Every structure is written in C-alpha cells, then in structure tokens.
Amino acid sequence: MTDNILIKKKRDPLKTTLHTVYYIVVFGLIFWGFNGIEYKGIMQTAASSMKALWNGFMNPDLVYATNATIDGLPYAILETIAIAISGTFVSAIISIPFALLASQNIVGTKVSKIGKLVVTMIRTFPELILALIFISVVGPGAPAGILALGIHSIGMLAKLFSEAIESMDLGVKEALESCGGNYFEVLFRAVLPQVSPELISYTLYRFEINMRAASTLGLVGAGGIGAPLIFAIRTRSWSRAAVIIIVLIITVTIIDQISGRLRKKLV
C-alpha cells in the first residue's frame, strides 16, 4: 500500500472567529430569552382548563351558529368578510400611487428611497392601534376596521407592487414613450396593464391575510367576529368559543382555496 496522503486544511482564522461569534450570539440570545419567561406554577390550573376546552370542542354551541339575526354567528362572519373585502380593495387602489412613488424605475433612486421608507413605516404601525385611532374618528364598528385594514395593508401591497414594477420588462414602457405618449398615458397603457396580473395576485394574497386580521380587529371593537370570540374565551364559554373557531377555520380555509386557485390562473 502506498503512503498516506497528507492534506492540510487551510483554515481562515477570520472566518472561523466570525462563525464562532455568530453562534455564541445566537445561542446567547436564545438562552437569555428563555430566562426572561416565567414558568411558575402554570400546569396545575392548566389541566382542568384544557379539559373544559376539549369539552367545548366536542359540544359546539350550534344555537349560536345557526342564529340568523344580527347577534348570531353567520352575521358576524359575514361582517368579517365584508371588512376584509372592503379593506383590501381600498388598500389596493391607494397602494398604487404609493407603489409608484417607491419604484426606482418610475421616480428615480432618491424619491423611491423615501417612498420605500414611508411604506415601511406604515407597515410597522400596529393594526390594533390604527383601529383604535379610527374608532375615535368614525366610532366603533366595522367601518373603523375597514379603514384600519385598508391603511395597514398599504404597507404590504405597496411594497409588493413596487417590487413588481421594478422588475417589469421596460420594453413596453419604452415603446409607448417612443411613439410620443405622455406620462399618464405611459402609466395607464403600459406600466399598469403590464403588472396588473401580479397586482391582482398580490391583492388576493393580502385578502387572505386580511381575513385573519379582520377577525382579530373585532377585539378592540372594530367589528366582525373578533369581539364575540374574545368575549367567549374570556368568559370561558368554551362551547361558543369552539363553534366560532371551527366556523372561522372553515371559512378562512375555503376563502384560501378559492383565492389560491384564482391566483394560479393569473400567473
């Protein structure tokens, strides 16, 4: 047998130190995180509550589910859907000018950077607070929720729209400019038609998310299924809470399926 081959591995000291630092930082953070959470005597009461919750799911409150009046579940769900639809639609329209202002190939680098920052700021503003602000404007109920969703969704839609605009094929825009189109003509006959399938797809995606958000906003009084749900949970009316959750999951899943299929047909 021939002699063994000796291979020396070249270790880059800088890279190794950096990697070690990364790992220490990450694990340190996670460790610090675990330390900060209290785990007191949680489990004792938990067992009985979980049992009660399970019972609630086994015996859902069907009376509430079939109550066709304004106090019943179907109305609340419909209101939630209505909030989501209106909010998303409002947002989609308003997002377009924001998106244009954030797109580098439309307004240039400097302006688009500001536009992007504004959009990020909107995205970070908590929906709940937005809902509260709007409640003070139009009073409690669904319209506040619509406004809150509408404004907050701009954060995501404008960002996605601007990404679509920035990655679009410039040829169409050039063609229209070269034959003498002015700014708005180019906008409406070249840019927007080009990206509209993507815009619609993103809007549908945002609608899916807004369905979930709409059910939460009711919590602070902005209408929809949120308020009855949180109320049921807080008062430990597990049967009612269970039926709401079940119907909510079914509704959102159905909407997701429909939306998903529509989106596939667009792209």
Nearest to 243 by CA among 79, 78, 72: 72
Whole-angstrom distance, CA of residue 91 vs CA of residue 161: 12
DSSP assigned state of 188: I
* 19 touches another protein (CB under 8 A): no
Q: Which stretch binds another protein (CB under 8 A): 98-106, 130-138, 166-174, 188-196?
A: 130-138
Q: Other C-beta atoms within 10 Å of 108: how many?
A: 10
The mark string for 225-244 relative to another protein (x by CB under 8 A, - otherwise) is -x--xx--xx-x----x---
Residues in 54-83 at the binding interface with another protein, rule: CB under 8 A: 78-79, 81-83
Give the count of residues interacting with another protein (CB under 8 A).
70
* 33 touches another protein (CB under 8 A): yes
Among 64, 98, 134, 205, binds another protein (CB under 8 A): 134
User: Roughly how many angstroms between the first and final C-alpha of the chain, as a whole number?
Assistant: 61
In the chain, the amino acid numbered 141 is G
The mark string for 155-194 relative to another protein (x by CB under 8 A, - otherwise) is ----------------------------------------
* 196 touches another protein (CB under 8 A): no
Give the CA distances from residue 246 to residues 38, 143, 195, 221, 243, in Å, rounded to whole numbers and listed in that order.
31, 26, 37, 22, 5
Specify the residue for token string 């070269």: 178
Q: What angle do CA 33, 35, 36 make, to 5 degrees?
A: 70
Among 103, 216, 239, 259, binds another protein (CB under 8 A): 216
The mark string for 94-123 relative to another protein (x by CB under 8 A, - otherwise) is --------------------------xx--
Nearest to 266 by CA among 170, 164, 182: 164
* 34 touches another protein (CB under 8 A): yes
Minimum CB separation from another protein for residue 133, in Å? 5
* 14 touches another protein (CB under 8 A): no
The smaller minimum CB distance to another protein, of residues 85 and 168, is found at 85
* 20 touches another protein (CB under 8 A): no
Q: What angle do CA 190, 261, 167 make, to 5 degrees?
A: 30
Whole-angstrom distance, CA of residue 191 vs CA of residue 75: 40
Whole-angstrom distance, CA of residue 46 vs CA of residue 3: 67
Q: Are 224 and 146 a contacting pair, CB within 8 Å?
A: no
Using CB under 8 A, list all residues that contact another protein. 4-5, 7, 9-10, 29-30, 32-40, 42, 45-46, 49-50, 53, 78-79, 81-83, 85-86, 89, 120-121, 124-129, 132-134, 136-138, 141-143, 145-147, 212-213, 215-216, 219-220, 223, 226, 229-230, 233-234, 236, 241, 245, 248-249, 252-253, 256
